[in-house]
C-alpha cells in the first residue's frame, strides 16, 4: 500500500505542472497514476486544484457549485487573423484571509507545486496559504484543513511545525481522526516485515505526543499491509483493514479505541467507510457480469442497504454517498437509503476522490 501510495503521488506531482488545458485533466492524471489500480485517498491534495464540485444535501433543490480553483485568463475568438498569445498562468498570489480555525480544502497550486493554496467550503474565500518545498512531495490534511502532514512532519496553516512523528515510510502514515487532533496508524515489529507476515498494532496519537497502543489487530507482510480506513474520536472507533498486494481488502475489523475491543469483523473484497466508521460499504465485483454491487453495513455489522455499482465515499453525516456504475463510469451522488440521485457528473467524467465537509452535509467530489 505504501508503494502504491508513493507511485500515485509521484506521478501526480510530475503531471500536475503539465496539465495545460484542464479539460479532461482528471481522467488523464487518473489513468497515468493508477494504471488500473485502486485509488488512494491521499490523491486529493494533488488534484483539488483542477476543479471543485460541492454537492449539498438540501431538502429542496440540490446546491451544486463548480469553481475553478486557479482561474486562467481567457482569450476570446478574434476576427483578426493576427495571433493573440495567452498569458502564462501564474501562482495564486492573494493570501487566504480567514481565521485559522475556519475549515478549508487545501491543495497544491497548479503552477507552483511547492505552494499550498486553500478555499473555504462555501467558496467565499480562496488564496495562498504558504510555500514549503515539502508540499511538492505531497501532503494529507486533517478534516478541517487546520493541520497537514507528510513524511516526518505535521504543520499548521501558518507553516509552523507542530509535530515530527517518527516514520519508516514515505508519506503521512496515519489516518486523521474526525476531531482533527488525533490520528490512527498501524505499526509492526519490523521495518520490513517477513514474507510470512507478523502481527500489527493499531495506535492512536495525539498530535505532538507519543503514540498509544490500542490493540493488536491485522498483519503486516512484505507484499501485503494493514491500514486504517477510518478513525473517529466522536464514535470511539477505528476501522482497520488488511490489504492484499493488489490493494483490495482481505478482512476488516471495527475496533473500540478506548478499550481495544473488536466490535465486529468481516472478510471482504473491498471497502469504503464513512469518516466515523458507522457505515461501511462492501463492494463486490461479479466477474461473469462485469458489474459491481455494494452492501452497506451499519455500526453493529447489520446490513442497512444495497446499491448498484460502487459506493466510493460518504458525506460527514453519512446521508450522502458517491456512487459509480463502474470503475470508468460517470459519478453520481445519492441518498443511499432510498436511492435518490441528487447530482450526476458529466457522462465522460471519472472519479478520483471525495472529501466530506466537517460537521456539514456537503461533499466535494
Q: What span, in angstroms and rounded, lies between the C-alpha atoms of 323 and 307? A: 8
Give the model's confidence band at 81: pLDDT under 50 very low, under 70 low, under 90 confident, else very high.
Answer: low
Nine-digit cell string for 26: 482528471
User: The C-alpha cell of 106 is what?
Assistant: 487545501
Query: Which are the contacts of 124, defined by CB distance < 8 A and separation ≥ 6?
Result: none
Alpha-carbon span 267 to 232, nearest angstrom: 22
Distance between CA atoms of residues 218 and 186, nearest Å: 9
Mean pLDDT check: name the lowest of 50-54, 171-175, 223-227, 320-324: 50-54
Q: What is the mean pLDDT of residues 329-347?
A: 93
**pLDDT score for 35:** 33
Residue 27 has pLDDT above 50, yes or no: no
Q: What is the pLDDT of residue 296?
A: 98
CB 51, CB 66: distance < 8 Å? yes
Percent of the chain topping pLDDT 90: 60
Q: How far apart are CA 85 and CA 90, in angstroms?
A: 15
Those residues whose C-beta lies under 8 Å from the C-beta of residue 7, and which sit 6 or more positions away, are 33
CB atoms within 10 A of CB 147: 22
Are the C-beta atoms of 109 and 118 separated by less than 8 Å?
Answer: no
Using CA of residue 79, residue 84, residue 90, residue 95, what is the dihedral sign? negative
User: Running DSSP on this structure, what letter comes out for residue 207?
Assistant: T
DSSP state at residue 224: B
Q: pLDDT higher for 42 or 171?
A: 171
pLDDT digits (tens, 9 = 90+) for 46-66: 544 445 566 654 433 333 333
Q: Which stretches within the chain are classed as H helix?
A: 2-16, 25-34, 44-47
- Domain boundary assignment for the chain: 93-173
Q: Which DSSP helix (H) or strand (E) runs through 190?
A: none
Task: Give the angle subtended at the CA of 164 by the CAs of 260 and 204, to the nearest 5°.
Answer: 10
Which grid cell sits at 141? 490534511
d(C-alpha 258, C-alpha 215), whole Å: 10
Residue 280 backbone dihedrals phi, psi, to 5 degrees: -125, 125
Q: Which sign does the torsion angle of CA 262, 264, 265, 270 carry?
A: negative
3-state DSSP assignment of residue 136: helix
Using DSSP's 3-state secondary structure scheme, residue 203 falls into strand
Helix axes 25-34, 2-16, angle to 10 degrees: 140
Computed over every residue of the chain, the mean pLDDT equals 82
Read off the pLDDT of each residue in 329-354 and give the average, rounded to a whole number. 92
| Closest alpha carbon to 150 in 139, 160, 159 | 139
Our CA dihedral for 280, 145, 207, 113, rounded to 10 degrees, sits at: 110
Which of 165-169, 226-230, 306-310, 345-349 is least confident? 165-169
Which residue has 498530535 as its cell numbers?
207
Residues 6+ apart with CB under 8 A from 57: 315, 317, 319, 320, 335, 342, 361, 362
- Read off the pLDDT of residues 275-287 as tens digits, 9 standing for 90 and up: 999 999 999 988 8
Please calculate the CA angle 65-70-72 and round it to the nearest 5 degrees.
Answer: 110
DSSP 43: G
Q: Is the pLDDT of residue 38 over 90?
A: no
Q: Quick check: 104 pLDDT over 90? A: yes
Amino acid at each position: 500500500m505504501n508503494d502504491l501510495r508513493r507511485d500515485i503521488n509521484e506521478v501526480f506531482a510530475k503531471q500536475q505542472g503539465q496539465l495545460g488545458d484542464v479539460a479532461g485533466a482528471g481522467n488523464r492524471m487518473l489513468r497515468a497514476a493508477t494504471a488500473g489500480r485502486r485509488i488512494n485517498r491521499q490523491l486529493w491534495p494533488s488534484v483539488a486544484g483542477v476543479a471543485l464540485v460541492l454537492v449539498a444535501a438540501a431538502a429542496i433543490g440540490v446546491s451544486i457549485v463548480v469553481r475553478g480553483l486557479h482561474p486562467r485568463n481567457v482569450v476570446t475568438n478574434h476576427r483578426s487573423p493576427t495571433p493573440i498569445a495567452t498569458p502564462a498562468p501564474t501562482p495564486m498570489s492573494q493570501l487566504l484571509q480567514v481565521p485559522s480555525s475556519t475549515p478549508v480544502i487545501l491543495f497544491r497550486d497548479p503552477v507552483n507545486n511547492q505552494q499550498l493554496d486553500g478555499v473555504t467550503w462555501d467558496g467565499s474565500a480562496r488564496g495562498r496559504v504558504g510555500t514549503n518545498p515539502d508540499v511538492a512531495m505531497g501532503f494529507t490534511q486533517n478534516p478541517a484543513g487546520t493541520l497537514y502532514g507528510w513524511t516526518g512532519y505535521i504543520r499548521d496553516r501558518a507553516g509552523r511545525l507542530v509535530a515530527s512523528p517518527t516514520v519508516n515510510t514515505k508519506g503521512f502514515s496515519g489516518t486523521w481522526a474526525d476531531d482533527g487532533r488525533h490520528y490512527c496508524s498501524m505499526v509492526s515489529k519490523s521495518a520490513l516485515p517477513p514474507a510470512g507476515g507478523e502481527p500489527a498494532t493499531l495506535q492512536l496519537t495525539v498530535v505532538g505526543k507519543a503514540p498509544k497502543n490500542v490493540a493488536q489487530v491485522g498483519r503486516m507482510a512484505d507484499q501485503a499491509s494493514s491500514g486504517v480506513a477510518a478513525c473517529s474520536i466522536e464514535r470511539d472507533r477505528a476501522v482497520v483493514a488488511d490489504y492484499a498486494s493488489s490493494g483490495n481488502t482481505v478482512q476488516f475489523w471495527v475496533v473500540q479505541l478506548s478499550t481495544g475491543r473488536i466490535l465486529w469483523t468481516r472478510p471482504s473484497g473491498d471497502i469504503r467507510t464513512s469518516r466515523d466508521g458507522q457505515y461501511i460499504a462492501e463492494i463486490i465485483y461479479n466477474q461473469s457480469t462485469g458489474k459491481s454491487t455494494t452492501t452497506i453495513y451499519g455500526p453493529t455489522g447489520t446490513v442497512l442497504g444495497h446499491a448498484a455499482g460502487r459506493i466510493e465515499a460518504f458525506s460527514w453525516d453519512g446521508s450522502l454517498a458517491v456512487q459509480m456504475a463502474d470503475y470508468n463510469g460517470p459519478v453520481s451522488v445519492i441518498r443511499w437509503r432510498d436511492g435518490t440521485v441528487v447530482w450526476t457528473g458529466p457522462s465522460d467524467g471519472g472519479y478520483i476522490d471525495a472529501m466530506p465537509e466537517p460537521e456539514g452535509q456537503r461533499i466535494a467530489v
